Amino acid sequence: MIPHKNNNSRPSWLSSSSSSGCGWLFLLLATSCCSTMKHAVVSAQSDLNLARDDTSPEVSKSILQSVYSATGGLNWNDATGWNEENVCTWKGVSCYTKTSNGDERRHGHIRSLDWSANRLVGTLPTKVFQLPYLEALTVEDNPDLDVDLSGIGSAQFLKQLTLSKTAVTNLDAVGAAKSLEDLHVSDLKLAGPLPSSLFQLTNLKRLNANYNSFTGPLPAEVGQLTNLEELLLFDSDLTGQLPGELGRLTLLKILTLTDNAFDGSLPLDALEQMTNLRTLSIQRIGTHDADFKGSGITGPLPALKNHKFLTKIQFENQRLSGSLDDDFLQTSPTGQAIEVDLRNNELEGRVPPSLLDKQFLSLYLGGNKITTVPPRIYDTSSGTCPQISDWMGGDVREFGCDAFLCPPGTWAPQGRLMSYDETCESCG
C-alpha cells in the first residue's frame, strides 16, 4: 500500500496563482515563444482539432497540471516525480518510447494514465481527453472522484477506461469513445436502465459493470457488440427475458449475469451459438427464497454440446426444469477441471453417462429431482464409483461415492457428503 503523501513536495510549477491557471500560462510563455504563438493559433480551432494536431509536450504538461489542481494533487497518496521537467517520470504517467509504437509522432507523448487508489477528489477535467494519443485511463478506487466524460470523443485512440469505485454517476457520453475496447464501470451505484451509450461501443471487447443497480431488461441492442469477449453484469436488478440477440456475440468467452432478477426461459438457440464460451454464469445468490432476486428462470437447460472451451457453468437457484440432454457438454474439455453448478433447480431424470469422460468434473445437483445415476458413474448397489474418483475436486476419493450425490431416496444439506462427519440420511 502506498503511504499517504509520501512523495508530495509542492511541485515547482504550482504557484500561489495556479488555481486560476496564471501560473501555468506563465510557464508556457517562458518555455517557448514560438510554441506559444502556435498554441494561440490552434486555440481558435475546436478542442478536438487541438488534441489531434498539437504535438507540443507543453500542452500535455498543462493538461496534467490542470488535473493535479482540480483533483487535490497536494493530498494525493503519491505524486512522485511531479517536480521533474519530464512528465514521463511523473507518478501514474506512461509515455510512448521509440519501440512501443510504429508511429514516430507518438514518441514521448503520453500513452496511459493510472491514478488508481491515489486519493483523487473533485472532478477529473474533461481536457484530459485532449491528450493526443492517450490509450488508457485508470482512476478506479478514488471514491470521491467524478469524471467529466463530455469530451471523451476527442480521445480517438482511447482503448481502456477504468472508472470502477469512483463517484461517476453518468455514462451518457461514453458512447463517443469509438475506439474503446475495455470498459470497467463496476461499483458505481448506477441505477436505471443500462445506458444506451454502452451499445454504441461496437469495438468493445470487455465490459465489466458489476455491483450496480441497473433495472429493466438486458436490451436487444447488446447484440450490436459483436466484438465482445467478456460481459460481466454481476449483482444488479436486471429483469425480464434474456434476449435472443445474445447469440450474435459469437466471440464471447465470459458471460456473467449472476444475481439479477431475470425471468422467462433461457434463449436456448442463442446460448448454443455462443460456442466460444469459457464461463456461463446466470445463477441467483442466497440461502433462502427471500434472498433471491426475482422469480427465477424457468424451462430447460441447453445441451451446450458444441462448446469446446466451456469449463464453468453456474445456474444454481433458478427454476430450470426437464432433464439433462444425453449429449450435455459433449465436446467440452476432458482433461481440465470443469464446474457445473445446477443446485436448487427443478431438474429431473438421470445423470448423462456421457459425462464420464470429464475426468475432473464437479457436478453439483443437490436440490433437484434426479432419480437415476447410471451404474457406470455410481453403482449404488455395490457402493462403488471407480471412474469418478477425481470428481468434485477430489472429494469422491476422499469421502466416497456419496460425495458426488446422495443416492435416490436420501439427502444431505448440500445433496452430497462434504466431510467425514456427514451421512446421506433417508428422506423417510
pLDDT tens, residue by residue, 334-378: 999 999 999 999 999 999 998 999 999 999 999 999 999 999 999
CA gap 219, 172 in Å, rounded: 16
State the DSSP code for 57.
H
pLDDT at 358: 96
Q: Are 369 and 406 in contact (CB under 8 A)?
A: no
Q: Does the pLDDT at position 23 exceed 80?
A: no
Q: Which residue has the higher pLDDT, 49 or 213?
A: 213
Question: Which residues, in sequence order, are CB contacts of 107 under 8 Å at separation 6+?
Answer: 96, 97, 98, 101
Phi, psi of 396, deg, nearest 5: -65, -45
Radius of gyration of the chain (CA): 28
Bridge partner residues of 402 (DSSP): none
Q: Which residue carries 470429464 as its cell?
A: 358
Reported as a pLDDT band with limits 50, 70 and 90, residue 56 is confident
Q: Are 198 and 223 in contact (CB under 8 A)?
A: no
Q: Which residue carries 506512461 as its cell?
A: 94
pLDDT at 104: 78
CA gap 10, 28 in Å, rounded: 19
Q: How far is CA 344 from CA 198, 257, 286, 365, 368, in A?
A: 34, 18, 11, 7, 6
**Other beta carbons less than 10 A from residue 427's beta carbon:** 9
pLDDT at 57: 79
Q: Does the pLDDT at position 20 exceed 50?
A: no
Report the sign of the C-alpha dihedral through residues 328, 331, 335, 338, in that order: negative
CA gap 278, 283 in Å, rounded: 16
Bridge partner residues of 162 (DSSP): 138, 184
pLDDT at 198: 98
What's this model's pTM, rounded to 2 decimal places? 0.87
Tell me which H or E stretch contains 53.
helix 47-53
Q: Does the pLDDT at position 384 exceed 90?
A: yes
SS3 for 424? Answer: coil
Q: Are 120 and 142 in contact (CB under 8 A)?
A: yes
| Closest C-alpha among 100, 94, 115, 205 to residue 160 | 205
pLDDT at 101: 65
| Closest C-alpha among 384, 387, 416 to residue 403 | 416
Reported as a pLDDT band with limits 50, 70 and 90, residue 107 is confident
> What's CA 268's distance to the chain center, in Å?
24
Phi, psi of 347, deg, nearest 5: -70, 150
Q: Which residue carries 425471468 as its cell?
A: 263
Average pLDDT over the chain reads 89
What's the full length of the chain, in residues?
A: 428
Q: Which residue has the higher pLDDT, 404 or 38?
A: 404
pLDDT at 240: 98
| Closest C-alpha among 402, 396, 427 to residue 417 | 402
Which three three-digit cell numbers place residue 191? Answer: 441505477
**Other beta carbons less than 10 A from residue 358's beta carbon:** 22
Q: Does the pLDDT at position 193 exceed 50?
A: yes
pLDDT at 334: 96
pLDDT at 354: 87
> What's CA 184's distance to the chain center, in Å?
6
pLDDT at 7: 56
Reported as a pLDDT band with limits 50, 70 and 90, residue 218 is very high
User: How large is the average pLDDT for residues 81-92?
Assistant: 93
Q: Does the pLDDT at position 205 exceed 50?
A: yes
Phi, psi of 71, deg, nearest 5: -115, 25
Which three three-digit cell numbers place residue 256? Answer: 456473467
Q: Does the pLDDT at position 207 exceed 80?
A: yes
Question: Which residues, in sequence order, are CB contacts of 313 under 8 Å at separation 6+?
Answer: 280, 281, 304, 329, 339, 340, 341, 342
The half-sphere exposure of 150 on its side-chain side, counting CA atoms within 13 A, is 8
User: How buried is 415 (Cβ within 10 angstroms: 0-12 exposed, 13-18 middle, 19+ buried)?
Assistant: buried
User: How large is the average pLDDT for residues 124-153?
Assistant: 97
pLDDT tens column, 29-45: 334 434 443 443 334 33
